[in-house]
Chain A
Amino acid sequence: MTKLNSKIPKGNLADKWTNYKSHQNLVNPPNKPKLDIIVVGTGLAGASAAASLGAMGFKVKIFCISDSPRRAHSIAAQGGINASKNYPNDGDSVYRLFYDTIKGGDYRAREANVYRLAEVSGSIIDQCVAQGVPFARDYSGLLDNRSFGGAQVSRTFYARGQTGQQLLLGAYGALSHQIKLGNVKLYNRSEMLDLVLVEGKARGIISRNVVTGELEKHFGHAVVIATGGYGNVYFLSTNAMNSNSSAAWQIYKKGAFFANPSYVQIHPTCIPVHGDYQSKLTLMSESLRNDGRIWVPKNKEDAEKIRKKQLKANDIKEEERDYFLERRYPAFGNLVPRDVASRAAKERCDAGFGVGNTGLAVYLDFAAAIKRLGKDVIEERYGNLFQMYEKIVDENPYENPMMIYPAVHYTMGGVWVDYELQTTIEGLFCAGEANFSDHGANRLGASALMQGLSDGYFVLPYTIQNYLSKEIKVPRMSTDLPEFNKTLEEVKGRLNKLMSISGNKSVDYFHKKLGHIMWEYVGMGRTKEGLSKAVELIRELKKDYWSDLRVPGDMNGVNTELEKATRVADFIELGELIALDALQRNESCGGHFREEYQTPEGEALRNDNDFMFVGAWEYKGEDQMPELHKEPLNYEAIEVKQRDYK
C-alpha cells in the first residue's frame, strides 16, 4: 500500500509555514522564464495563481472553458471572505480562525494546512484592497465586517452581496495585467480533457477548443488544476451549468488520489425546487441568517393548510411558530454551521412541518429585523438578494417570509494534495475547491473565497518552486513526443466512442437520473442500504449511458452536447466513488451524515477511533474497485471534541 506523505513541516504549528518558506528551494529570477506552468481554471484559485506566477517571471498558460476568465463560478459567491484581522476588536486571532475552521470541519481537516490558511488570511484582504476591490466600509472610511455561521466574532469582509464577483474581478484584473505583459497566455473556450505524463511526471495537457473542436497538445514543466468542485454530480446544485469535475477525474485516472469524495456540502439557504424542468438551484447568501429567523409552523395542521394554500405564513401567530434553530441551538441560533442548519430543516420537513407547494421548504423571516432596523437597513444589506428572490419566486420577501430549502453547494472532498498542494503525481498541483485540503467534512461560510485566494496568491506560488527548482535543467519538451500523441489518441478515441453510441437518450436524461440517485441515496441522510443501492443503480446507469446515449452533430466545431457528454461520463463514475466513500465511512461527520450514527438528539456522531483519517482513493482501472489509502489526522494544537453549538 502506498504511503501518503503529507510533507507537513516539523516544528510548532504556528512556525511551520514560516519555517517552510525559510528553507524551501526557490527558482532564481533568470531561470523563471525558462519554466512553463499550465494552470487549468480561471476562478479565484486559478486566476490568482496564474497572475502571481506570471508576475514572478514564470511563463504561464491558463485555460478557461468560458469565453472569459471573469465568468468562472467563483463570481457567484455572495456573502464574504473571512480573515482574522480583528479590525472590530472582538477578540479574533489567527488561532481562533484556525480553531473555528477545524471545529467547523468536524475535526476532519489537516491542522497544518488550516493554520496556514488562517495565517495568510489577512494578506488576502490587503492584496484585494490594493487591487481596488470595493469592500464595504464604515463612515470613517475603514473596512466593515459582518458575522457568519460557525463563528462568534465578526471577521467577514464583504462587497454587498457580490463578494465573489468583486474578488474574482480583482484576480481577473491581475491576470489581465500579466496577459498584457506577455507572462501569461490565455486559452479561452478551451477544455482540458486529459493529462500528459512523461516518465511519471505531469508534463502537459490535451485540451479541446470548444469553438473549432480541435484537440490541442500543451507542454508545461508543471500543471496546476484549479477547476472547482464536483457538485454538479447531483444535477441540481448551486454550481454553474458548465462547472464540472472532468479535469479532476482525468487526473484521478492517471494516478492522482481522490480524497474524501463523500464530503459534500448541502447549503441551507437555497430557493426551493419548483419543477422538473429546473436546470439549477439558486443560493441565497448565508449572510441572510444574520437577520433572518428560520421557522416552520408548530402544528402540522397549519403546515398542511399552508401547503394547500388555505393559510399564508403571515396568518400563523407568533406563538404558533417553531423557530427550530433557536430552540435547538440557543447559543448559535440561526447562525449554526451549514450542515447543522440543513439537517435541521430536513428533519422538520420530513416530520411533516414543511411549507411551500411541495412541503420541502422552511421560512426565513425578516419581519423582526425590518421592525428593529427598518426596511432601509435591510435593503442596504440584502437588497440584491431580495430582488433576486422576487424575480425567481414572484413574491415580495419584504412582506412575506422567504422560503428556503437545502441544496448541494460545495464539495469539501477533492484531489488529494500534500502540504505543498502537490498531488500524488509529481509536478501536478491542485488548488481551490478542486483539492480536499482545508475544510474537513464541512466548510464554514466565507471560507471558500479565503481558501481559493490563499492557495492562489500565497501558497502555491511558493510551494511550486520547491518542485520547479529541480526542473531548471529540463528544456521545454516538444509536444510531438510519443507521450503527447498517445494521450491525444486516447482522447480522440473517447470522443469517438461517445459520438458513435447513437442511442436514444440525451445527455441531460442521464444526468438527471444520476442526480435523482445521488440526492435520494447519497444526499443529506445516508444509510448503508441506501448507499449500496446507489452503487448498484449508478453501475446500471453507466451501462445504459454507454449503450443508449445520443450525441447529435459531430466532433468538429461547436458541439455543446459532446461537451456535456464527456462531463456526465465522468460525473457518473465520480458519483459511484462518492457513494463508496460514504459507505466505508461508518460515522457521521460534517456534511456526511449516516443515519446509523447519530446522538440521541439527532446530531452527527463521529467515530474518532476508527475514522480520524483522510480517505484517499486510488484508481485501479475501468470497473475495478479503487483502493482506499488512509492518511491519519493528528491533532496537536486542538482538543478534539463533539461539536456543540448549543
Chain B
Amino acid sequence: MDLTLEIWRQENPKAKGKFETYKVQNISPDCSFLEMLDILNESLIDKVQLPINFDHDCREGICGMCSLYINGRPHGPDNEVTTCQLHMRKFKDGDTITIEPWRSKAFPIIKDLMINRNAFDQIIQAGGYISVTTGGVPDANSIPINRNDAELAMDASACIGCGACVSACKNASAMLFVAAKVSQFALLPQGKIEAKDRVKAMVAKMDELGFGNCSNTFACEAECPKKISVSNIARMNREFLCANIS
C-alpha cells in the first residue's frame, strides 16, 4: 500500500506545532499501524532527520501507552482496539491518513504525538484504591463476592488508562475513566468502606485538573478500546449523590 500521512509535529510543549506531510510506500496490509510509523521513522533516520515521537510500549493493547487521534478518531477506524493493534488492512491503498495527538487541555503535548497523562495518575492518587497496606489481611475466601458483581467489577477494571475517552469527548471529560475505577470498588465489599470518600476525592481532583463535564453523548464508550460501559458513569453519579447527601 502507498499512503500519504499528515502528521502533527511539535518540538516541545510551548512550541507552535504544525502538520507535515509524509509518504510511505509498499506497506503490507498485515503491518500494524505503529510498525508503519516505525518504517517511516527508519526512513527519516536514514535521511538524518528527527523521527516522529509517539508513545507506545507493549504493542499488544494492554499497557495503555499508545494513543494517536487517527482520521478524527482516537485509536483509529477499527473498533475495540488500541492504535498498536490497528492494522493497515483497515485502510485502502492511496489513502491520506491524518495523525494527531490526544486533544485535551489536561493532556499537554510533550513532543510531536507524545502527551503528558500525569493527570490520570493524580486522580488515582486522590483515592483510586483500597487503603490496605501489606499483610494482616483476611483469607481470600473469607470475602465471598457475588459472581455477577465480581464480573461487573472486572468489566470496569479492564480500563487501560489510555485516555481515548477524554480525547473522544467534546468536553474532554474524564468521567468514563474515573467512573470505571469508582465502580470497580463500589461493586466490591472490600471497596465499600471508603466508597464515599473515594468518589468525592476523585471527582474533586478530576475537576481541579481541568477535565470538562459530561454531557451524555457517550462518545467515550463508543471509542473505548476496552468497551468500558457508560453505565459506570451512572453508577458513579449515584455514588457521588449518595456521598454528598448522607
Q: Does A134 contact B184, Cβ atoms closer than 8 Å?
A: yes
Q: Does A240 contact B117, Cβ atoms closer than 8 Å?
A: no
Query: Is A360 an interface residue when CB atoms closer than 8 A count as contact?
Result: no
Q: Which chain A residues lie closer than 8 Å to B38 at the CB level?
A: 277, 279, 508
Least CB separation from A271: chain B residue:
B60
Q: How far is the CA of A196 from the CA of B58 in the complex (A)?
A: 30
Q: Which chain B residues lie closer than 8 Å to A275 at the CB level?
A: 28, 30-31
Q: Does B125 contact A180, Cβ atoms closer than 8 Å?
A: yes
Q: Does A66 contact B57, Cβ atoms closer than 8 Å?
A: yes
Q: How far is the CA of A461 from the CA of B136 in the complex (A)?
A: 14
B62 is contacted by which of A139, A140, A162, A174 (Cβ under 8 Å)? A162
Query: Is A51 an interface residue when CB atoms closer than 8 A count as contact?
Result: yes
Q: Which chain A residues lie closer than 8 Å to B120 at the CB level?
A: 68
Query: Is A126 an interface residue when CB atoms closer than 8 A count as contact?
Result: yes
Q: Which chain B residues lie closer than 8 Å to A506 at the CB level?
A: 42, 45-46
Q: How far is the CA of A127 from the CA of B143 in the complex (A)?
A: 12
- A561/B153 contact (C-beta < 8 A), A131-B129, A132-B185, A392-B87 known: no
Q: Does A127 contact B135, Cβ atoms closer than 8 Å?
A: yes
Q: Which chain B residues lie closer than 8 Å to A198 at the CB level?
A: none
Q: Which chain B residues lie closer than 8 Å to A127 at the CB level?
A: 132, 134-135, 137
A-contacting residues, B5-43, CB 8 Å: 12, 28, 30-32, 34-35, 38-39, 42
Q: Does B121 contact A176, Cβ atoms closer than 8 Å?
A: yes
Q: Which chain B residues lie closer than 8 Å to A2 at the CB level?
A: none
Q: How far is the CA of A138 from the CA of B161 in the complex (A)?
A: 28
A141 is contacted by which of B121, B147, B157 (Cβ under 8 Å)? B147
Q: Does B147 contact A67, Cβ atoms closer than 8 Å?
A: no
Q: How far is the CA of A486 from the CA of B178 in the complex (A)?
A: 45
Q: Does B12 contact A557, Cβ atoms closer than 8 Å?
A: yes
- A392/B134 contact (C-beta < 8 A), A140-B144, A275-B31 known: no
Least CB separation from B156: chain A residue:
A134
Least CB separation from B39: chain A residue:
A277
Most central of A73, A134, A177, A211 by chain B CB within 10 Å: A134
- A550/B128 contact (C-beta < 8 A), A52-B134, A67-B116 known: no
Q: Which chain B residues lie closer than 8 Å to A552 at the CB level?
A: 44-45, 48-51
Q: Looking at chain B, what size class is its interface with the partner chain?
A: 35 or more
- A560/B133 contact (C-beta < 8 A), A132-B184, A142-B141, A169-B157 known: no
Q: Looking at chain A, what size class is its interface with the partner chain?
A: 35 or more
Over the window 110-132 of chain A, the binary record of Cβ atoms lying under 8 Å from chain B Cβ atoms (1 yes, 0 no) is: 00000000000011011111111
Most central of A48, A132, A160, A176 by chain B CB within 10 Å: A132
Q: How far in angstroms is the closest Cβ of chain A from B92?
A: 15
Q: Does A68 contact B161, Cβ atoms closer than 8 Å?
A: yes
Q: How far in angstroms is the closest Cβ of chain B from A405?
A: 15
Q: Which of B77-85, B93-101, B228-236 makes up part of the contact surface?
A: B77-85
Q: Which chain A residues lie closer than 8 Å to B145 at the CB level?
A: 137, 141
Q: How far is the CA of A73 from the CA of B129 in the complex (A)?
A: 20
B-contacting residues, A518-574, CB 8 Å: 550, 552-553, 557-558, 560-561
Over the window 76-106 of chain A, the binary record of Cβ atoms lying under 8 Å from chain B Cβ atoms (1 yes, 0 no) is: 1000000001010000000000000000000
Q: How far is the CA of A457 from the CA of B135 in the complex (A)?
A: 8
Q: Which chain A residues lie closer than 8 Å to B56 at the CB level?
A: 241
Least CB separation from A157: chain B residue:
B140
Q: How far is the CA of A143 from the CA of B141 in the complex (A)?
A: 7
B-contacting residues, A154-170, CB 8 Å: 159-160, 162, 165-166, 169
16 residue pairs bridging A and B, Cβ less than 8 Å apart: A51-B134, A85-B141, A127-B132, A129-B190, A130-B130, A130-B190, A131-B129, A132-B153, A138-B147, A141-B145, A176-B128, A177-B129, A211-B110, A392-B32, A506-B45, A553-B50
Question: Which 8 interchain pairs have the tightest Cβ spacing?
Answer: A173-B129, A141-B144, A130-B137, A55-B133, A134-B154, A52-B134, A129-B140, A134-B153
Enumerate chain A interface residues (CB-CB to B < 8 A): 48, 51-52, 55, 66-73, 75-76, 85, 87, 122-123, 125-132, 134-143, 159-160, 162, 165-166, 169, 172-174, 176-177, 179-180, 186, 188, 211, 238, 240-242, 274-275, 277-280, 282-283, 387-388, 391-392, 394, 457-458, 461, 506, 508-509, 550, 552-553, 557-558, 560-561
